[in-house]
Chain A
Amino acid sequence: MIGVNTAHRSLAARSWPARLLLYLGLCVFAAAFLAPFYWMIISALRPQSEFYQIPIPVIPSHLTLQDFVLLFQRSEFGRGLLNSAFLAFVSVVLQVFFSSLAGYTFAKLTFRGKDVLFTAMLATMMIPYMVTIIPNYIIMAHLGWIDTYWPLIIPGIANAFGIFWMRQYCQSIPSELLDAARIDGAGEFMIYWRVVVPLIQPALASLAIFVFLSTWNDFLNPLVFLRNQDLFTVQLWLAVVSHEGNVGQPAIVMAGSVLASIPVLLIFIFMQKRFVAGLTAGSIK
């Protein structure tokens, strides 16, 4: 970190017009990144009549929750939110547990074939998703799993990224702690459960956030494997609402988009440090 500090001493040394220009540029890009969010929120809250004004007012005359009411009246969006929350919860618990158990094993236990198995696991991350989705659909159909949540939960447990990321973190656990537990007669699983898990809480939280986001935002898998609207996730309901004429006003679609985005944006803003650390850790170590 000291290095980073000295590395950019030149920034402070710049003349004030140069610095002004730099901040101005940063603000322009910040506005470009924020504007679509602003428009989503405002479109959901503005009175529908304003959509037909030319030009459409950038600041609405007043705010209303009418479109949220219409969204819930005309679709099963609330059920979609609950379905997605359920799926995300189950996926988080299973993926965090199995990834951390395997990641700890690769980091701290010695066994024959470890390097080969680890490399093979990393190699599986290279397989393009589109190649496996068709045969997976056929396999799921044979298992009778179409229109159930199994295809959305079970294959995801084999999370190579999660195992890799937990392994990187677990390498910092001092081996003396594990040996001490072993001398005290603790079994291998108990060592993981009682000694390792309490030590890797931050990494577990980061992975949990990551799994939550990818499950909550997933669209292709639910689209392929679900037919019954009762099981639809929030992303599927968004697609339904945006394509059906009677509910398809842009205001209602934006109301749905706001609801679908609130959980991910809240999680990101409040747990930002953990999230960004989680994303970057894997790529440098």
Chain B
Amino acid sequence: MALVARAGSITRSPRGAARWWAKVAPYVFISPFYLLFLAFGLLPILFSLGVSLFNWQGVAQAQFTGLSNYGVLLTDPDFLTALGNTVIVWLGSTVPMVFLALAFAAVLNAQRLRLRGFFRTVYFLPVVTSLVVTGLIFSVLFDPSIGLVNDALHAVGIAPINFLSDPNWMKPTLIMALLWRWTGNDMVIMLAGLQSIPGDIYEAATVDGATGRQAFWRITVPLMRPIILFDFIISTIGAFNLFEEPYVLFGGSAGNIGGTQNAGLVTGTLIYQNSFVFFNFGYGAAIAWVVAFIIFVLSMLQLKLGNKPVD
């Protein structure tokens, strides 16, 4: 009874109403995120798990088939090809990218470097370019008949290479495009990390007679390990979600999304093809879940390796 009376007085008096609003307002202010996430994040995830258990071919009635989509997946040559290609592109781009990004960041962090701002801007510039434009520029540069790269090779006496349709060259071309587009992104993250290393550590090392190179390997790299690890993990996630660059480079809407002998097929384009070209939603969702699981395992593995204590 007392409670009801109190509640009544709160809503009646203007001060009480203000106090009530002050309590509720935070939840109102953050609610759009959670409501939209429920509708377009959580619901789809649960739905997607469910869908992956069905044979659902767009227009036709969905049939419950249990784990059979996952069973088919393990022996599907397209899936295995896409997975193999993705692993090659992932390792081929991530390792040099992280290495280059750290080197660029270390050099471009030096205060006395002339034109430091200019170099930072130029190295970062590709990151703002759209992935479609990146794919288009590289397909023009590496075109077998009108491409600049083949002209340059011709000038030094090398026969033209079909970078975009020779199965041996498709993945290296994709890796080059990825290095151009994404290295600046990793570099900026590394720069932020470098700036958080306290300078007196280097001062002490200099007093102790350490050279610049020793300081880099003994101080910078160990202290930067969490950031380097972070870069490795985001690059891994990026590689397994690759879509636009291979789609544009290897002729996505021309029907064969993976290019010659599927040498340019990656997991991202395979999911797209199954879901939105063949409208086989169930199978597409199953691939997406397996890929998500692989990303999770690889990230955990890297975290475990990266967090191993140094001597």
Contact = CB atoms under 8 A, between A and B. Distances in A.
Interface string A193-224: 00000000000000000000100110110011
Interface string A81-115: 00000000000000000100110111001110010
Contacts of A242: 136, 139, 248
Given A10-B212, A135-B285, A187 B33 contact: no
Given A6-B203, A29-B104, A217-B131, A154 B36 contact: yes
A22 B103 CA distance: 11
A192 B22 CA distance: 12
Contacts of B37: 121, 124, 158
B31 to A, nearest CB: 9
B193 to A, nearest CB: 7
B61 interface: no
Contact of B193 (A238, A250, A283): A283
Contact of B291 (A40, A128, A264, A284): A128
B-side interface mostly: helix
Interface in A259-285: 260-261, 264-265, 267-269, 272, 275-276, 279-281, 283-284
Contact of B241 (A58, A129, A155): A129
Contact of A219 (B121, B132, B185): B132
A65 interface: no
A61 B180 CA distance: 28
A243 interface: yes
Contacts of B45: 127, 131-132, 135
B196 interface: yes
A280 to B, nearest CB: 4
Contacts of A55: 151-152, 154-155
The list of the 6 closest CB pairs from A to B, nearest first, reads A3-B199, A135-B44, A280-B192, A158-B36, A10-B212, A188-B25
Interface of B: 18, 21-23, 25-27, 29-30, 32-34, 36-37, 39-41, 43-45, 47-48, 51, 104, 107, 109-115, 118-126, 128-133, 136-141, 143, 146, 148, 151-152, 154-155, 180, 184-185, 188-189, 191-200, 202-203, 206, 211-212, 215, 227, 230, 237, 240-241, 243-244, 248, 251-254, 267-268, 271-272, 275-276, 281, 284-285, 288-289, 291-292, 295
17 contacts: A3-B199, A5-B111, A32-B180, A33-B123, A36-B141, A105-B25, A111-B26, A134-B271, A134-B275, A139-B39, A155-B41, A157-B36, A158-B32, A216-B130, A220-B272, A239-B252, A250-B140
